[in-house]
Each structure stands twice: as C-alpha cells, then as structure tokens.
C-alpha cells in the first residue's frame, strides 16, 4: 500500500537519465532543494557516480541505479531501491531519451523502433511504475520537446514519440483523480546539451539560438528550475499540463 506522505518527511525523487544533460541538472537541483535522489542511468555509470558524489559532498542523499527505462523489471527494481534506501517515492522525472535526426523518407525503421523503445515505451513504463508507487502529495513529470509544436524538419520520428508522451501525460493526470498526485510534461526548446549539440555546425546552433525572443539557447538549469517548481508543493496546483520551456520560441 502506498504510504501517506507527510510534509515533515524528506521528499524522494527518482530521476531517469540523471547522469548527464538536463537529467543531471534536474537531479542536482532537486537534491539542492532537499530531496533524496535516485540517479537513474543506462550506460553512463561513471557520470552517474559523479552526480551522486556531487550531491553527497553538498550534504545531500543520493544513490545511482542502472536501469533501461524500457525494461519494466529494471524500472521496478529502481523504484524498489528508492523505497529501500529512502522510504518511498514522491517525485518521478523521466528525462531518459534518445534522439535520431532524419527526414521521414530516409529514416531506417530499425532506428525508429530503437527511438520509440526508449522515448515511448520507456516513458510509459516509467509512468506506469510511478502511478503505482508515488505517495500522495507527489508529482510525476515527463520530458517532452517543443519540437512537437515547432515541427522542425528532420525531427519527425522524435516529435512523434514525444507527442505520444504528451498524450499519455494528459491521460495519466486524469486517471490519478483523487490520489493528490500531479502529472505534467515539460517541453524544452533548443537547449545546450551534448545530445542537442551533436552533429550541428556552428551556424545551425547560432540560428537556433536566435529564434527565441530571449535570443539564446536554453540551459539544462533553465529546464531543471521548471521541473523543480512542478515537483515542489508550490507547483502542486499545476496539473495535466505541458509546459513549453523554450524562451518564447514560436
């Protein structure tokens, strides 16, 4: 049975994809705000260990846990580890993701399957486990992308998967009626991460940076601050929403 959360307890966050990029910034920000954090990772064990070291060096509590988000057994074990180490789960952030850029006409279907295994099946598995485990007063947050609305060429498969994430987020928010759990998605615009910058020349990056009225790329910390608000008691009245954190790009 799900344990009732008391505001006197330390909140516990599970962050998939927490070893690098936006996920790392989210893990560090939630820890700085007082949450114990499970830093989920797939292959970057050393990077995840460094995130844990940074959190614990600052006086926080964290563990790293290896899990492929599309593997329901591994994800359940990650949540088990959160409950065993810290007593429960209050916040779940699924920031694990895979990016493939190609015109729709040219995309290899094996790559499409691999992309959607992580971005769609993985998001579903994380949401399903979160729905079973998160305590009252908690929050479930998925990472989408502003490309769903911006429709950049080459992002067809990626945007399609994230459109599915937004749809399941809206459905889950309604399915958890009466549980006092919020479900939202955050949709970053162009953000200066290793994943985003790979295979882009300087001119492309500069062009994308000029598109928002704020005339810069987002940073992982920009996105982490939005996520941390939605995860906090202060953001608990926001529910069933997609927050497009993109500097005003339209």
Give residue-wise pLDDT tens across range 201-235. Answer: 899 899 989 999 999 999 999 999 999 999 999 99
Answer yes or no: is pLDDT of 14 > 90. Answer: yes
Q: Render pLDDT for 171-188 as a digit per residue (tens, 0 to 9).
A: 999 999 999 999 999 999
Residues marked active site are found at 158
Residue 77 within a domain: yes
Q: What is the DSSP letter of 1?
A: -
Rounded distance, CA 201 to CA 49, Å?
A: 31
Q: What are the residues facing 36 on neighbouring strands? A: 12
In terms of residue numbers, what domain contains 44?
12-190+221-244
Q: What average pLDDT does this structure show over 145-162?
A: 94
Task: Quickly state the pLDDT bin for 194 (edges 50, 70, 90).
Answer: confident
Residue 205 covered by a domain: no
Ramachandran category for residue 230: left, alpha or beta (phi over 0 → left; psi -120 to 50 → alpha): alpha
Q: How far is CA 248 from CA 25, 159, 164, 188, 222, in A?
A: 21, 19, 23, 11, 13
Question: Which residues does 40 contact at the CB level (< 8 Å), separation at least 6?
Answer: 14, 15, 16, 17, 18, 23, 48, 64, 65, 66, 67, 69, 78, 96
pLDDT digits (tens, 9 = 90+) for 44-85: 999 999 999 999 999 999 999 999 999 999 999 999 999 999
Please report whether residue 197 resides in a domain: no
Average pLDDT of the chain is: 94
Angle at the Cα of 85 (from 46 to 19), degrees rounded to 5? Answer: 25
Q: Residue 214 falls within a domain, yes or no?
A: no
The span from the CA of 19 to the CA of 47, in Å, is 5
CATH assignment of the domain containing 144: 3.40.50.720
> pTM higher than 0.75, yes or no?
yes
Place of tokens 């910390």: 221
Q: What is the structure's pLDDT at 92?
A: 98
Query: Each residue of 122-139: b (16+ CB within 10 Å) or e?
Result: bbbbbbebbbebbbebbb
- The answer to whether position 195 is within a domain reads no
pLDDT given at position 250: 75
Domain-embedded: residue 180 = yes
Is a pLDDT exceeding 50 seen at residue 6? no
- 93: closest CA among 149, 32, 33, 25? 25
The counts of H helices and E strands in the chain are 10, 7
Count Cβ atoms within 10 A of the Cβ of residue 149 and give its class: 0-12 exposed, 13-18 middle, 19 or more buried.
middle
Name which residue leads in pLDDT, 2 or 243: 243
Question: Is residue 192 within 8 Å of 226, Cβ to Cβ?
Answer: no
Indicate whether 79 belongs to any domain: yes
Considering the domain boundaries, does residue 249 fall inside one?
no
- Going by DSSP bridges, is the β-strand pair 139-143/91-94 parallel, antiparallel, or unpaired? parallel
When divided into structural domains, the chain yields a total of: 1
């Amino acid at each position: 049975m799900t344990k009732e959360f008391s505001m006197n307890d330390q909140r516990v966050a599970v962050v998939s994809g927490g070893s690098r990029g936006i996920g790392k910034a989210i893990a560090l920000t939630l820890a700085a705000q007082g949450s114990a954090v499970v830093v989920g990772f797939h292959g970057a064990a050393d990077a995840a260990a460094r995130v844990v070291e940074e959190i614990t060096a600052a006086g926080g509590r964290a563990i790293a846990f290896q899990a492929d988000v599309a593997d329901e057994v591994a994800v359940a074990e990650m949540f088990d580890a959160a409950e065993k180490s810290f007593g429960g789960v209050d916040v779940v952030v699924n920031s694990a993701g895979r990016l493939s850029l190609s015109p729709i006409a040219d995309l290899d279907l094996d790559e499409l399957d691999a992309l959607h295994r992580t971005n769609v099946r993985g998001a579903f598995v994380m949401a399903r486990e979160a729905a079973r485990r998160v305590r009252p007063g908690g929050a479930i947050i998925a990472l989408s992308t502003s490309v769903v609305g911006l429709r950049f060429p080459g992002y067809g498969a990626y945007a399609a998967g994230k459109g599915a994430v937004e749809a399941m987020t809206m459905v889950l928010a309604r399915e958890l009626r009466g549980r006092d759990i919020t479900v939202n998605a955050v949709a970053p615009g162009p953000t200066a991460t290793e994943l985003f910058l790979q295979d882009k020349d300087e001119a492309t990056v500069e062009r994308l940076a000029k598109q928002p009225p704020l005339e810069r790329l987002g940073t992982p910390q920009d996105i982490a601050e939005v996520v941390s608000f939605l995860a906090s008691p202060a953001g608990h009245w926001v529910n069933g929403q997609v927050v497009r954190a993109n500097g005003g790009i339209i």
